[in-house]
Structure 1
């Protein structure tokens, strides 16, 4: 994890060099039960670097909103990769785009298996989203094949 503005800027610079499609920044705010996840596309990273540099101090505390701080950052080429990295989901839950019927079934079993390993509401919501994603892509693929 990051603890200084220098760490944050280094992560974001690395995202630019790697041509990551997305960056994810976790913001902690008083009065909220969970951290806020902000996602930005590659095209916006340069402006976001300037914004974070000017708006947060060296310890990642918001200069103008007491109690607001950056507590995590990552980058990746899919939203589920960012979610997995910041919320600690196993990378094996990342699902490929080109699934056959057998692979869909195997992925669903894998997702269900992981749901038993970490049984909390946040993980369950992630598991359901992954299943909807697999089923949705399978349905879209079948529509495309019929088309």
Structure 2
């Protein structure tokens, strides 16, 4: 898994605004190192979510109010939001 930071997330966000068509921002959140949960944000909500992430998370993408909660990955997606493809989880393991 790649190392993500607030700086990389903001840079990618700025890039997709100018260059890429996307339908979703998918955020993978882990609590205390557990298997990540997937949060899917439709494009219409992304600007507000980015404002929230900037204020609520530190540069290591840990929630300031509870550092055990961390964004461990994200992607701007045109529509392929398959958790199986991203984390190679088999059917029935969710």
Q: Is the 8 Å Cα contact of residues 12 and 45 (structure 1) preserved in structure 2? A: no
- Greater strand fraction, Structure 1 or Structure 2: 2
- CA RMSD in angstroms, aligned pairs only: 2.2
Query: How far does residue 41 in structure 1 lie from its aligned partner after superposition?
Result: 0.7
Q: What is the CA–CA distance in structure 1 between the aligned matches of 2:24 and 2:42, rounded to whole Å?
A: 5
3-state secondary structure, aligned to 2:81? helix
Q: Which of the pair has more CA radius of gyration?
A: 1
2:31 aligns with one of 24, 29, 32: 29
Question: Which 5+ residue runs of structure 2 have no aligned equivalent?
Answer: none
- Greater helix fraction, Structure 1 or Structure 2: 1
Q: What is the CA–CA distance in structure 1 between the aligned matches of 2:91 and 2:78, rounded to whole Å?
A: 23
For the structure 1 residues 42 and 61, does the alpha-carbon distance in structure 2 shift closer, same or farther, using more than 3 Å as the test?
A: same
Tell me the equivalent position of 1:75: 76
Q: Is 1:19 matched up with 2:21?
A: yes
Question: Which 5+ residue runs of structure 1 have no aligned equivalent?
Answer: 89-121, 127-147
TM-score normalised to structure 1 length:
0.53
For the structure 1 residues 53 and 86, does the alpha-carbon distance in structure 2 shift closer, same or farther, using more than 3 Å as the test?
A: farther
TM-score normalised to structure 2 length:
0.79
Q: What is the CA–CA distance in structure 1 between the aligned matches of 2:91 and 2:67, rounded to whole Å?
A: 32
What is the aligned length?
90
